Structure 1
Amino acid sequence: MNAKTVALIEQFNLWRKQRISKANFLIIAAFVVGILGGLAAALLKQLTHLIEEFLQNGLQWKYKYYLYLFFPLIGIFLTVLYIKTFIRKRKFKHGLTPLMVDISRNSGRVDFHNIYSQIISSALTTGFGGSVGLEAPIVTSGSAIGSNIGRFFGLNYREVTLLLACGAGAGIAGAFNSPIAGMVFAIEILLPTFSIPAFIPLLIAVATASVVARVLYAKPLFFLVTEGWQMQALVFYTIMALLVGAFSIYFFKLNFYVQRQFSKIKNTYNKVWIGGIMIGLFIALLPALYGEGYITIQQLMNGKYESLLANSFFSDFKDNPWILLGFATLTLFGKSLASLLTIYSGGNGGTFGPSLVMGAFIGFIFAHTINQFGWIQLNTTNFIVAGMAAALSGIMHAPLTGIFLIAEITGGYELMVPLMIVSAIAYFINKGTLQHSIYTKSLAESGDLATPEFKDRAILRRIKLKYLIEDDFIILKPEDTPSERSYDIIHTQRNIFPVVAKDGLLLGVINSEELLEILINKDSEQSATPVEELMHPLTDTVTIDANALEVMRDMENQNIPIYPVVDADNRYKGFVSKAGILNKYRALLKRDSDYL
């Protein structure tokens, strides 16, 4: 950006600070974020469905159906090729976990390319049959819109983070046409330490995004006509919720197992081949795994259970309910694995959508099985809907998002009580067993989780040592003697001296008390001894790129109040103190509480 452009931006920012209050400007910015977030959501859905439509209906070739085995492989390959070709300067990240890291560690900075790269890459992955959802990419795209608008106008960390959350909520609202769920998602996942003032910009953003997306892409995700729920079915909703909670624990463990296995494969294109071929084979056996899977769920809601076996090797058994249930169970576990294979082999998508699909399958399998025994006739559609809410609550640790999202996208507001029950049970089973969701486990381990119980660590992670370095220490050379530097030793305000070589390397340290004792004792021969022989060799240093959380842990463990700081080549930079870190921590804590 040239100097003239920067000057114009600064001039505009000065004008708006004088004429527009902070609260009003945030509402205006949230409105803009909502428009752009809605456009991004509509564009992603439209682009993905255009690719799907072309491959399934537009491409005319006698043997094209044999390509269905290879479509996911092609999609993942094109995704990886696009990222390696066009996103080279920045590391491409997918999923919600990196977004939380950006909030916790990178001051809410989301790279600009995510606005468009998430849309292109996820459309290629999912459009070609990758068994993932579009929700995580559109959340990241919307977050990038909010983050970059905030940074463009020179807003502070909390204001940028709020607009980032507005973009994320706008993405959910636009993708599902569910403004309430979009707002709840932003608060529950990205702003766990929110306060009431955050509601207004979020409401503006998600409502605007929902309107824009609906104008551009009016097709709803699901159609549902429900007759309400029966009191005697509550015990079965409870049992199903227990099953969903147990499945969410399985999916959590499967996620990290698949991640570890693919991390062992160093060659990117080997990951593509292995994952792509495996997904193709899964789809050949279980056609419902192709793409997002929402079409299959809608057919199950409509009572067209035999459609699950259509175009499969088991289509001749579509009238056998037990084979149908067995096939649905295979599809459930196949979806859990296929979605993770798509993500970790190089595709771009998230587990948000697959969570809904897996929950729907559990609800269908459970209700249809009970109905076969004839004990009671359960409303299978209601259990499909409840299963989606329970799975989202358990897997994402977002019960409110699960309740309101499913109620909005299915129109199942009459099922609010069952949705609350199954979401709460599935959440508490997963939370009580694992504590963290698949998105937050790694964040909690690294101290980047910004929930109330991890807030202190998250703030410390944000503190960069380069802004805390104290460099007003008297530097001694190795050949200096105490008598030669007696004036500096006596008059310094510090109680430690770094010993630094000519090339800047930090050799050791020596305390002022030791030097003063030598100078006071006039008969001491050490007054003429080079400090190189008197200093204490370095036992611990900290590099300039370390974070304050790591430094504070070391200081607490070793009970030391100050640490020498060096660069990657062990060149002396200064010292960092526990008091300095705590002062900065208090300042950030106050700044955070001033707004949200």
Structure 2
Amino acid sequence: MLLAVVVGAGTGAGSVIFRWCVTTFTRLFSGHPDYAAAPGAGNPQVPWLGAYFVLLAPVIGGLLYGPLVNRFAKEARGHGVPEVMLAVAQRGGRISPKVAVVKTLASALTIGSGGSVGREGPIVQIGSALGSTVGRVTKMPEGRMKLLVACGAAGGIAATFNAPLAGVFFAMELVLGTFSAEAFGATVLSSVTASVMGRAAFGDRAFLNLPGFHVDHLAQYGLFALLGMVAAVVGVGFSRLLYLIEDACDWLWRGPEWLRPAVGGLVLGPVLLALPEMYGVGYPVLQKAAEGGYATGFLLLLLVGKMLATSLTIGAGGSGGVFAPSLFIGAMLGAAYGIGVHHLLPASGGAVGAYALVGMGAVFAGAARAPITAVVILFELTGEYSIILPLMLAIVLATAGSRLLTRDTVYTLKLRRRGIDLEKAAPGAPVGPQRVGAVMEPLPAPLAAAGTLAEAADLLPLSGHGALPVIDESGDYVGVATAQAVAEALTERPETAPTSIGQLAEPPGAVTADQSLVQAMPVLLSAAGTGVPVLDAECGKPIGWLSHQSVLRAVHRPVA
């Protein structure tokens, strides 16, 4: 817990430095604190260039951060979150400490020189690298190291966006991929610490200032649901375009990698000249769209432009996140959709800004498939609770639609393209690729659901497992009864205590014989006893038992 606070404090300080670097480099390259707030203006430092300075800014920025990334930390290229997910899933949470420094400078230079990317990927990678470094210095075991990496990610999101809850759920949903009381407690401490430092530096206010919205008619829920389904298609389309352009850049480029960002800047510059709203993160443009400040045609142009500009920035070797671009794209989609609805149904359409806000969360959910994070972060970024019900509806539908369209998210697709599947064992790992059915033990004698606690107390110590499967009178599997649950029940007052074993049975996560060990390990590690039943994939009845010992035995014997 103390280390979680230390990581949160360090990440909070890192986020302050990072945002200062972004602002400083933006002023240096554009002459404005945020050029998206003054699109088309010239750089007062070089007034004779006028708005044409955007043709040179990405090239100069690329010449600065290209060699930096190529020489010191190649993993700092791109949007960062996939690298953190990989470090947690297959590398024991180990991230090089130099990534934090290189990522700070490279991402700040990318955004400051016009790169159309976000701040969340960099700060997540920066905070995670800090958490990993703290874990290694204090010689933490692998499990705690991963948790400290997640603490860094949570603190980064919290401090950067003034969103402490969103930081916690981002870390657990996307980085750890699991929820537990220990992980929640540690990430909350880190997130709160980092958020306090962020608020001290940037103030305690919502990241976006939007007018209040509310749902006037029940029919609007149907309109929001349709927006969620459209957002799923747009979110998946953004992911595909991002990597399609990256593939094209890989195929076309034949020169040294350190020069690639500068040459890519020659292509990005004309896009920024035609659409200066694409310069940098673009939050002023996003807010204006949510306030109804653009026409439908221009909103759709901004949507397509953001997809293209972000893809070109990443494909050219830039460093920055895709979270903010997905919010931008969602706001443009939602605002255009809201204007259309308002024209078609003026009496029941509702405010355009409400659709923009819902679109932001839904497109992010469609791209990243992180519904809890999407709901929480939109609430914290805007401070707008009145729109929570349609927001939840659209986000859930966008997540479901995304899952139907593709198995990958905008984060996991980057890894799969490199031959890495987070759901499979790490290449060369001695445990993971084996099938559960090949290493499981015989099923221990089950307990009867109608049996008494006294019978369970007699049988559990003799089993050697600390837990046993429970079946009912018809032979159907009910769950697992643990020695801990029985012991706790026996300490209760007789009139309030459970009377049968079936009342204590709880089914753990399903493990089937055809699964690989890497898929079954999370269930086994989180089980209360020393093992879990292995179920038949077709009928759902227990046919074997998977324990920690049987997993270890798989290393020392050939498995079919």
Give your verdict on TM over 0.5.
yes
Other-structure match for 1:52: 26
Distance in 2, Cα, partners of 1:130 & 1:352: 14
Secondary structure of the residue aligned to 2:93 is coil
Structure 1 residues not aligned, in runs of 5+: 1-26, 306-323, 466-547, 550-578, 588-596
1:121-155 residue CA offsets vs partner (Å, 9 max, x unmatched): 11100011110001101000000011110111111
Q: Among 196, 218, 223, which residue is 1:236 paired with? A: 223
Other-structure match for 1:214: 199
2:254 aligned with 1:266, yes or no? yes
The verdict on how the C-alpha distance between 1:39 and 1:236 changes in structure 2, with shifts beyond 3 A counting, is same
Distance in 1, Cα, partners of 2:322 & 2:299: 19
2:427 aligned with 1:424, yes or no? no
Kindly report which structure 2 residues correspond to 1:217-366, keeping only aligned pairs within 5 A, or say none. Answer: 217-218=202-203, 220-230=206-216, 231-264=218-251, 265-267=253-255, 268=257, 271-305=260-294, 324-366=295-337
Distance in 1, Cα, partners of 2:139 & 2:553: 21
Other-structure match for 2:528: none
Identity of aligned residues (%): 29
Distance in 1, Cα, partners of 2:25 & 2:206: 19
| Contact in 1 for aligned 2:117/2:324 (Cα 8 Å) | yes
Shift of 1:446: 7.1
Structure 2 residues not aligned, in runs of 5+: 33-42, 433-516, 519-547
Q: Which amino acid aligns with 1:75?
A: G
RMSD: 2.6
Kindly report which structure 2 residues correspond to 1:143-162, keeping only aligned pairs within 5 A, or say none. Answer: 143-162=128-147
The verdict on how the C-alpha distance between 1:297 and 1:439 changes in structure 2, with shifts beyond 3 A counting, is same
**TM-score, scaled relative to structure 1:** 0.67
The verdict on how the C-alpha distance between 1:290 and 1:196 changes in structure 2, with shifts beyond 3 A counting, is same
Kindly report which structure 2 residues correspond to 1:126-525, keeping only aligned pairs within 5 A, or say none. Answer: 126-218=111-203, 220-230=206-216, 231-264=218-251, 265-267=253-255, 268=257, 271-305=260-294, 324-373=295-344, 375-376=346-347, 377-441=349-413, 443=415, 449-450=421-422, 454=423, 457-458=424-425, 462-463=429-430
Shift of 1:428: 0.7
Shift of 1:234: 1.1
More moved, 421-430 vs 92-101: 92-101
Other-structure match for 2:493: none
Other-structure match for 1:81: 67
Pairs aligned (count): 425
Distance in 1, Cα, partners of 2:400 & 2:284: 30
The verdict on how the C-alpha distance between 1:227 and 1:433 changes in structure 2, with shifts beyond 3 A counting, is closer
Shift of 1:266: 3.1
More moved, 431-440 vs 131-140: 431-440
1:515-558 residue CA offsets vs partner (Å, 9 max, x unmatched): xxxxxxxxxxxxxxxxxxxxxxxxxxxxxxxxx99xxxxxxxxx
Structure with a larger share of its residues in helix: 1
| Contact in 1 for aligned 2:26/2:112 (Cα 8 Å) | yes
Secondary structure of the residue aligned to 2:18 is helix
| Contact in 2 for aligned 1:463/1:584 (Cα 8 Å) | no
| Contact in 2 for aligned 1:359/1:391 (Cα 8 Å) | yes
Other-structure match for 2:526: none
1:301-358 residue CA offsets vs partner (Å, 9 max, x unmatched): 33433xxxxxxxxxxxxxxxxxx32222121011111101101212100211101100
| Contact in 1 for aligned 2:335/2:352 (Cα 8 Å) | yes
**TM-score, scaled relative to structure 2:** 0.71
Shift of 1:163: 0.4
Q: Among 17, 20, 24, which residue is 1:43 paired with? A: 17
| Contact in 2 for aligned 1:132/1:351 (Cα 8 Å) | yes
Distance in 2, Cα, partners of 1:462 & 1:141: 28
| Contact in 2 for aligned 1:459/1:585 (Cα 8 Å) | no
| Contact in 2 for aligned 1:76/1:130 (Cα 8 Å) | no
Q: Which amino acid aligns with 1:226?
A: G
